[in-house]
A and B are shown apart, each in its own frame.
Chain A
Amino acid sequence: MRRILVALKRVIDYNVRVRVRPDGSGVVTDGVKMSINPFDEIALEEALRIRERGGADEVLAISIGPDDTQQQLRNALAMGADRAILVKSAQAIEPPAVARVLLAFVERETPMLVILGKQAIDDDCSQTGQMLAALWQRPQATFASKLELTEKVARVTREVDAGLETIEVDLPAVITTDLRLNEPRYIKLPDIMKAKKKPLDVVELASLGLDAASQLTVVGLEPPPQRKKGVMVKDAAELVATLRQKGLV
C-alpha cells in the first residue's frame, strides 16, 4: 500500500493574539481557540490531493498531544484523511522526541512520504521534519511550495532566501510545507458525519517505550519589548521633511 503519513500539531489558532501569563510561566490558554497548525493543514491537503490523483492509497494523520487533540484529528478525518493516530501526552514534547515518535510509526507503517509543516506556530522551532529525515536516513525537502511525484522520486520546489530552488529526492522522503504549496479545503457538514466512522486510534506515549524527556528547560517567558506608537504626519511634505531631519533619507 502506498501510504502518506502527515504529522499534525494542535496549536493556539493563528488568529489569537497570544499573551504571556503575568507570572511568566507560559502563555494564556484558558478559553483560547485551538486548531491544527496552519502548515500542517497544508501538509494534509497536499497528501489528499496526491491520493485523489491516484498517487497514493492511504493518508494517515498522526499527532502527539493531549487527549483534546482528538478534535483536531477528527477535523483531519473530515478533511479526508483515512485514519488517524493520537499519541497521547499531557506534556508537550520537543522536536527530537516528536521525530523519534514519528520514526516509530514510520517503521511500522512504511510510508512513501511523510509530510510535516515547516514550523509549528507555537514553538516556531522548524526542526521536526529535518530531524526525522536524519534519524530515518532519508532525504528531506523542506519549505516546499511545489511537489511533483513519480513512482520513485519527488521533485520539490523549495522557498529559499535566494528565490525558488528545485531538488529531486528518492522516495521514501520527508517533505515540509510552506504556505504557498496549496490552499486547504474547507470541511463540509456531511464530511464531519463521515469522519465519525473513520478509525482514530489512541495510544499512550509511555507505551511506545521511547526517550521523550525534555532536553531543554524553559526558564520563563516574557512579553516582547513593545514598540511605542509614534506620531501621525499630515502629508507627504511633512513626512519627507521629518525623515530628512532624522537623517533617514
Chain B
Amino acid sequence: MNRILIVAEHLDGKLNAAVAKCVSCASAIPDAEIDVAVLAIDGSAVAAAAAGIAGVKRVLLVKNAANEPALAAVLAPQVAELAKGCSHVFGPSTTFGKDLMPRVAALLDAPQLSDVMAVESATRFKRPVYAGNAIATVESAAGRQVVATVRVASFQPAAAGGPAPVETVAVAAELPSHTRFVSVTAARSDRPDLQTAARVVSGGRALGSKENFALIQGLADRLGAAIGASRAAVDAGYAPNELQVGQTGKIIAPELYVAIGISGAIQHLTGIKDARTIVAINKDAEAPIFEVADYGLVGDLFSLIPEIEKQL
C-alpha cells in the first residue's frame, strides 16, 4: 500500500485546478491510497471540492486562523505532521507548491523530486532537467518517504467522483510568527486563466511598448484566449510578471499557442513544449520559434494582427 498525501492549493475558497492533476499523478502509483490535506481558516468549500475528485480516499481538513493567506513557514510543520506514515507527499508545481514542498521535505528528512512529469513505479519517476533539454529518470530508495511537486502541464485532471469523507483534524505543530503576509497585487481579469486556458496568445519584445501590447489583448479577446508574454516583454514592462511563459514563468499546455514577435529562446520554449498546436508570427524567417511551430507566418505583426482579426 502506498499512502499518498496531496497538499491542496486554494485561494478565496476555491480549490486550484492543479489539485485534480496531482490526484491523476498520484493515481498512477500502484496501490495508491490518496488523502488530500486542506489547510485553511474554514475550508469547507475547498474540502468539499477536493472530496469530489475521483480517486481521493479522504480529505483532511485542518482549520487554523494562521493558514490563510498561505505562508510556507506556517503550513510546512502542519503538513509534515500530517505526512507521518505516508509514503509520498505531493504538491503542485506552482509557486505555492515550489515554495512549500521543499520546506516540508527538509522537516521530514526526505528527498524531493521537483516537476514530476511521469510515474514509472512507486519509486521511479521522470522529471525535466536543464530547462527541459533532458528528461531524467530518477529512482528513490525503496521504503523511504518521497516528497514531490507535480508538473501540472503533464497530467490531465482526475475526473469527478466521490464524494470522499471530509475529516476535520487537529495537528499539534508549533507555528512560527517570524513570517507575516503583507499584501498581494493580483490583476483580476475576466480573461481565461493562463495556466488552464485552451488558447493562449503571447507577445514578445517586438511589441515595443505597453500601448502596443494592447494588440495582443485585442486578438486574445477575439479568440477567447488567455494572454502570455516572453520574459523580454515582461522585463520591459509591456506585460505583468504573472503572464511570463517559460522556464522561469509558467509552463502551459494549451490546445493553441500563438507566439507573436517572440524569437523562441530555449527558456521560452520550455514553457510551451506541451502545447497541442503552436502558431508563430515573426518577421524573421530564421527565428528559432519556427523550428517548433506547427504553423508559421513570416511578416510584420503590426499589419498581420489586424488582418487576422478581419478574417476571424
**B242-261 near A? 1/0 per residue, CB < 8 Å:** 10000110100001100000
Chain B residue numbers with a CB within 8 Å of A18 are 130-131, 133-134
B186 and A163 within 8 A (CB)? yes
Find out whether the CB atom of B95 lies under 8 angstroms from the CB atom of A159: yes
**Residues A92-146 near B (CB distance < 8 A):** 94-96, 99, 118-119, 121-135, 137-143, 145
Q: Say whether B99 contacts A142, CB under 8 Å.
A: yes
Task: Tell me whether A160 and B184 are in contact (CB under 8 A).
Answer: yes
Most buried by B among A94, A155, A163: A163
Cα distance, A178 to B111, chains bound together (Å):
23
Bound Cα distance A216, B72 (Å):
24
Contact pick for B72, options A27, A130, A159, A241, CB 8 Å: A130
Q: Report if A165-B184 is in contact (Cβ < 8 Å); known contacts: A138-B178, A142-B99, A218-B137.
A: yes
Task: Determine whether the beta carbon of A227 is less than 8 Å from that of B295.
Answer: no
C-alpha gap A48/B261 in the complex (Å) = 35
A-contacting 9-mer, from B52-60, B100-108, B203-211: B100-108
Known: A217-B139, A229-B292. A19 touches B114 (CB 8 A): no
Query: CB distance B131 to A131 under 8 Å?
Result: no
Q: Is the CB of A239 within 8 A of B72?
A: no
| Residue contact B128 to A215, C-beta cutoff 8 Å | no
Q: Are B95 and A125 in contact (CB under 8 A)?
A: no
* CB contact under 8 A between A222 and B184, given known A96-B106, A230-B295: no
Residue among B179, B184, B290, B312 making CB contact with A163, cutoff 8 Å: B184
Tell me, yes or no, whether A221 is within 8 Å of chain B by CB.
yes
Secondary structure dominating the interface of B: mixed
Number of A-B contacts (CB under 8 A): 249
* CB neighbors of A among B182-199 (8 A): 182-187, 195, 199
The verdict on B140 contacting chain A, using a C-beta distance below 8 Å, is yes
**In contact, B311 and A240 (Cβ under 8 angstroms):** yes
B294 lies within 8 A of A235 (CB): no
Distance between Cα atoms of A19 and B266 in the complex (Å)? 13
Contact: B11 with A227, CB < 8 Å? no
Contact B138 A219 (CB under 8 A): yes
Measured CA separation A235–B310 after assembly (Å) = 12
Task: Enumerate chain B residues within 8 angstroms of A123, measured Cβ to Cβ.
Answer: 129
Tell me, rounded to whole Å, the shortest Cβ–Cβ distance linking A227 to chain B: 4
User: Cβ of B131: which chain A residues have Cβ within 8 Å of it?
Assistant: 18, 121, 124
Which of A58-66, A68-76, A77-85, A166-174 lies on the face that meets chain B?
Answer: A166-174
User: Is B128 a contact partner of A216 (Cβ separation < 8 A)?
Assistant: no
Q: What residues of chain A lie closer than 8 Å to B71, measured between beta carbons?
A: 167
Contact A162 B98 (CB under 8 A): no
Q: Are B304 and A236 interface neighbours, CB within 8 A?
A: yes
What chain A residues lie within 8 Å of B130 (beta carbons)? Answer: 12, 18, 27, 121-122, 124
B111 contacts A216, C-beta separation under 8 Å: yes
Enumerate chain B residues within 8 angstroms of A210, measured Cβ to Cβ: none
Contact of A230 among B113, B137, B138, B296 (CB under 8 A): B296
Chain B CB within 10 Å, residue with most, of A19, A166, A215: A215
For B110, the chain A residues whose CB sits under 8 A away are 215
Bound state CA distance, A161 and B73, in angstroms?
A: 18
Contacting pair B241 A180 (CB below 8 A): yes
Q: Taking the complex as formed, is B48 at the interface, i.e. its CB lies under 8 A from any CB of chain A? A: no
Q: Considering only CB atoms, which chain B residue lies closest to A226 in the complex?
A: B292
Q: Which of A141-190 contact B (CB under 8 A)?
A: 141-143, 145, 155, 158-170, 173, 178-180
Residues of B17-40 contacting chain A, CB below 8 A: none
Which residues of A have CB within 8 Å of B286? none
Q: Given A222-B134, A222-B135: A127 and B114 within 8 A (CB)?
A: yes
Tell whether B273 is near chain A: CB-to-CB under 8 Å: yes
**Interchain CB contact (< 8 A) of B95 among A121, A160, A233, A242:** A160
Asked whether any CB of chain B lies closer than 8 Å to the CB of A248, the reply is yes
Q: Which residues of B contact A242 (CB under 8 A)?
A: 295
A20→B293 CA distance, assembly (Å): 23
Smallest CB–CB gap between B77 and chain A, Å? 9
Are the C-beta atoms of A215 and B182 separated by less than 8 Å? no
Give the Cβ gap from A206 to chain B, nearest Cβ, in Å. 21
Report which of A27, A125, A229 forms a contact with B134, defined as CB distance below 8 A. Answer: A27
The contact sample of 30 A-B pairs, CB cut-off 8 A, is: A18-B130, A118-B248, A124-B130, A131-B102, A131-B105, A140-B72, A143-B98, A159-B242, A160-B184, A162-B184, A163-B186, A164-B184, A164-B242, A169-B180, A179-B231, A215-B111, A215-B140, A218-B137, A221-B129, A221-B136, A222-B137, A224-B135, A227-B278, A227-B291, A229-B292, A230-B278, A235-B299, A239-B295, A239-B308, A248-B199
Nearest 8 pairs of A and B residues by beta carbon: A134-B106, A236-B307, A130-B102, A230-B294, A215-B111, A240-B311, A127-B102, A163-B186
Known A133-B103, A221-B134; 8 more pairs at CB < 8 Å:
A27-B130, A125-B102, A140-B103, A162-B242, A164-B241, A167-B180, A216-B113, A243-B279
Q: Which residues of A contact B (CB under 8 A)?
A: 12, 14, 17-20, 27, 94-96, 99, 118-119, 121-135, 137-143, 145, 155, 158-170, 173, 178-180, 215-224, 227, 229-237, 239-243, 246, 248-249
